[in-house]
Each structure stands twice: as C-alpha cells, then as structure tokens.
Structure 1
Amino acid sequence: MFEESIARYLERYGHPNINLKAVLFDMDGVLFNSMPYHADAWHKVMERHGLHLSREEAYLHEGRTGASTINIIYQRQYGKDATPEMVESIYAEKSAEFSKNPEPERMPGAWEVLQKVKAAGLTPILVTGSGQHSLLNRLVHNFPGMFERERMVTAFDVKYGKPHPEPYLMGLEKAGVKANEAIVVENAPIGVQAGVAAGIFTVAVNTGPLDGQVLLDARANLLFPSMQALCDDWEELYKSLASGSNVAT
C-alpha cells in the first residue's frame, strides 16, 4: 500500500501553511467513474486511424486536452503533429464513441465529499482537461448546486493543458484565492503534476488501475485509495490543514 496518512505527512514535511478557502476538483476519475469509457473510446478511435494507444496508456494521458493526447501519439508514430483538421476529426469521433456508453455514474464518495466541502463554507471549483460536452452538461444534474459555470475550468478555457499549471492557476483565479488557500483533488499523474506545479497542496485519489506509487512519484502530497476513503477521512484532513497540528494515525 502506498497510502500516506495525514499524520505521517505532517510529521515528515511539516504543516503546509494552508488557509483553506477552496477545493479544486478534477472531473473524470474524481467526480465521475468515466475513465474506463474514455480509455476504451481513445483506444478504438486511435486504432481506426492507424495510431496505437492502449487502454492502459490512456490512463497515463488522463487530464490532457484531446488535441494534446492526439499529437503526442501522432508525434510518436510520424514525427510531426497532426493537422488541426485531423485533430478535430479524431476528437469528434472519440466523443461520439464515448457517448455510446451508458451514463457514467458518480464516483462513490464524490457527492458526499462535495457536501462536506460546501458545509465547511469552502468553494468547490471544477478543473478538467475534458471538453466532453455530455459530461459537463451532467454536472448540474449529478452535482446540483455545487459548481457554477463561471467557476469551471475546462479544455475550452486554457491554452496549455495539464501537466502545465495553467488550468489550476486559472482555477485559483476563478475562485479568487491564492495557492495556499486551496487544495487540489486529482486522480491522474499529469493532473497531480499540474497541481503541484501551480504551488497547490495536491491530494491524489487512486481510482483507476495505476499503481499508487505513480501518483506519489508525480509528487502528490497525500494519497488516498479512493474517493470514498477521502470522504471518510475528510474531517481529519480539514482539521489538520486548518490547525497544522498532527493527528493520530
């Protein structure tokens, strides 16, 4: 197990000096159990175009913009970027393939975590590399009253996607807070890298098939084995970050 307890982190690294006002949430794999559908859609559509991206590798690219994912694979095979027309076509196919699946369910524990965040007077902010309209539209239905559109950061809002810090820096801006006034909740290695690069305390939740060590190697500050585990330990986490005092293991 690679999970680090809150107390162990604080003992090892000290209190991160957080005045918590906002929580920045990734979407796929954090709020929705949608990554298996994304991985399958990416694999099928890439193969149609003679591009090779396994379902397993798709998890490593989770959080990138669609254009970035396509160009990484295209560069690997052909040594150049895909044309803008090709990128648009492939991503449209991928979106259509994704939409053939049943509606993704909320990630267990996600709704409850958000309720606790709101009850604590904190602002939840969505920061996703996705441009998947179907999922973005479902946020209102699945998480009523939690996210305001003007406080969402999506693939349509940024020039540089994760692992660049721009998405999370923009999330801070939309929340009206500084880096030490927020935490990030992420499940993808490049998302963790983006949160850390933005100078934000980053909590990883290992909701996919990756080894938890991959998330720690991406420099996650804390690792939980699921969103449900984060939900169960939310009060302890919030208390620890608010007070800076060590807690019992």
Structure 2
Amino acid sequence: MFQEAIKHYLTAHHYDSIDLKSVLFDMDGVLFNSMPYHADAWYKVMAARGLNLSREEAYMHEGRTGSGTINIVCQRQWKRHATPEEIEEIYSEKTVEFNKNPPAERMPGAWEVLKKVKEAQLIPTVVTGSGQGSLLNKLEQNFPGMFRPELMVTAFDVKYGKPNPEPYLMALEKGGLKPNEAIVIENAPLGVAAGVGAGIFTIAVNTGPLAPEVLLGEGADILFPSMLSLCEAWEELVGTLHSFSSRKAD
C-alpha cells in the first residue's frame, strides 16, 4: 500500500533507504484536539476588530506565528502591516479567548500511536509553533514519559517557523538525525510544507475541515483521515519502511 509513496520519496531525495530512528509530531491537531478552539478564538478576536478570518481559514494558517497570521489579515484588509502594539493586543486577546475553553483532549489515536513508536524503540519528538509556557507540563500530563524536553522544538527555538523548514531542520539537528532517519506527522498545510521542505518523509493526518487535496498539494507523501487510521496502519507502514532499509543492507 505504501511502497509507491516511499519509492517516490527516495527517488526525489536521492536516498537508498529510510532508516527510521525518530518520529516528529506536530502538536495541535495531531496530539491534541485543540484546533477547533484556536480557529474559534481567531475568528472571534478578528471579528471584534472588523477583520475577516473565518474558522476554516484559521486552519490554513495553523503553524504560522501569531504575528504572521495577524499581518496577513491586516495587509489584506488594512493594506498595511499591523503595528507591534496591535500584534501584542490581538494575540493577547486571542490567548484569552482560547483559554476560555476547557483543556483540549488528546487526539483520538495519538496515545496509541505514541505507544507503538516507543515499542518500536523509535524516539518521538514534538515540533510545534506553540509558545505556551505550560507546554511541557501539558505534554507530560497527557503523554507521560513520551517526550524528551531537550529534543523538542517550539516557538521559542525558531526565527521563522512553519512553513519554513527551520523547525524540522532544527529537530533533526537536536536529534543528530539525517532527513531520511525520521518521519513527520502533520495535520496542517504549513506544517506539511515545512516537513517536505526539510526533506523528511511527511505523513498528513486530516483532522480538520480542509479538503484532502490541500494537504496533498503541499507535498504530503501519505494522507490519513485521522490519527486512529494512522494507528491502524502503523505496523504495515513501518514494516514497509524497514523493508526498504533492509534492501540497502542486502
């Protein structure tokens, strides 16, 4: 089922194999079912200022820095960049609106995928555009013992953020990995673009309202409709990846 996608990746990137050592996870929309809260908060805060950002469009900007999203909307409607003061105010209001919601629950299937990653002696790592101060506690409470803080990449680590490949390139650097020694699991178009731009085999999970073609159009190597479906196919996927690795050894 997955052979053609892997062959295409290897040919495009001039690798003989994918020697899997680590799995790089986006956070919102992959590990946590938090994107509906983010989308709703962006919509409400923008609307209060007379700015138009639909909930669906918010999914298109997922992974972008807050200032980047604000500037795109302001340039579109106000024909100018937002001032630093406006950015600070809008993002602060968005954070307050987001925090009115109950804590986001684990994405169905995420815990099960992580357990399979660990059982396979692979290293799971989080690569997120989030800058939440409570991020480490949140991850440890929901996914105890899964992540090593020193390998994580957050908004505090990067200059550019997704769709720039910088976050995933930094994750490779922190883990001492080559691009063909990891895979990316993403749900957002910008995140998929970042993983592909870093030269990593990129799996999209379509946990939001976007058409599948949007994620495939950004270069996703494989698309799943949910984390649960990825979990169900995990053994077949990893077995196929390993089969290409063993062929190199032969």
TM-score, scaled to structure 1 = 0.92
Alignment of 1:146-161 (within 5 A): 146-161=146-161
Task: Look up the SS of the partner of 1:202 in the other structure.
Answer: strand
One-letter amino acid of the structure 2 residue matched with residue 78 of structure 1: W
C-alpha displacement of 1:10:
4.2
Q: State the match for 2:162 in structure 1.
A: 162
Relative to structure 1, the CA distance from residue 135 to residue 14 in structure 2 (aligned partners, 3 Å threshold; closer, same or farther) is closer
Alignment of 1:66-145 (within 5 A): 66-134=66-134, 136-145=136-145
Q: State the match for 1:205 in structure 2.
A: 205
Deviation per CA, 1:18-51: give whole Å up to 9, x if none: 1111111000100000100000000001112222
C-alpha displacement of 1:163:
0.5
Residue 9 in structure 1 maps to residue 11 in structure 2: no
Residue 181 in structure 1 maps to residue 177 in structure 2: no
Q: 1:185 and 1:10 mapped to 2: Cα distance?
A: 15
Q: State the match for 2:248 in structure 1.
A: none
Relative to structure 1, the CA distance from residue 154 to residue 13 in structure 2 (aligned partners, 3 Å threshold; closer, same or farther) is closer
Q: Which stretch shows the higher mean deviation, 139-148 or 15-24?
A: 15-24
Q: 2:206 and 2:154 mapped to 1: Cα distance?
A: 22
Residue 242 in structure 1 maps to residue 238 in structure 2: no
One-letter amino acid of the structure 1 residue matched with residue 210 of structure 2: L
Query: Which stretches in structure 1 are left out of the alignment for 5+ residues?
Result: none
C-alpha displacement of 1:176:
1.5
Query: Which stretches in structure 2 are left out of the alignment for 5+ residues?
Result: 246-250
Q: 1:12 and 1:72 mapped to 2: Cα distance?
A: 34
Instruction: Check conservation: 2:9, 2:221, Cα contact below 8 A.
Output: no
Relative to structure 1, the CA distance from residue 126 to residue 235 in structure 2 (aligned partners, 3 Å threshold; closer, same or farther) is same
Q: Which stretch shows the higher mean deviation, 229-238 or 135-144?
A: 135-144
Q: State the match for 1:26 in structure 2.
A: 26
TM-score, scaled to structure 2 = 0.91
C-alpha displacement of 1:244:
1.6
Q: State the match for 1:194 in structure 2.
A: 194
C-alpha displacement of 1:136:
5.0
**Matched residues, number:** 241
Relative to structure 1, the CA distance from residue 198 to residue 13 in structure 2 (aligned partners, 3 Å threshold; closer, same or farther) is closer
Q: 2:87 and 2:25 mapped to 1: Cα distance?
A: 27
Q: 1:13 and 1:97 mapped to 2: Cα distance?
A: 41
Q: State the superposition RMSD in angstroms.
A: 1.7
Q: 1:136 and 1:85 mapped to 2: Cα distance?
A: 28
C-alpha displacement of 1:14:
6.1
Q: 1:127 and 1:151 mapped to 2: Cα distance?
A: 9
Q: 2:6 and 2:173 mapped to 1: Cα distance?
A: 27
Q: 1:96 and 1:163 mapped to 2: Cα distance?
A: 25
One-letter amino acid of the structure 1 residue matched with residue 68 of structure 2: S
C-alpha displacement of 1:212:
0.8
Q: 1:240 and 1:148 mapped to 2: Cα distance?
A: 27
Deviation per CA, 1:101-145: give whole Å up to 9, x if none: 111110011001111111111111111112234555311100111
Q: Which stretch shows the higher mean deviation, 231-240 or 148-157?
A: 148-157
Task: Look up the SS of the partner of 2:125 in the other structure.
Answer: strand
Task: Look up the SS of the partner of 2:230 in the other structure.
Answer: helix
Task: Look up the SS of the partner of 1:204 in the other structure.
Answer: strand
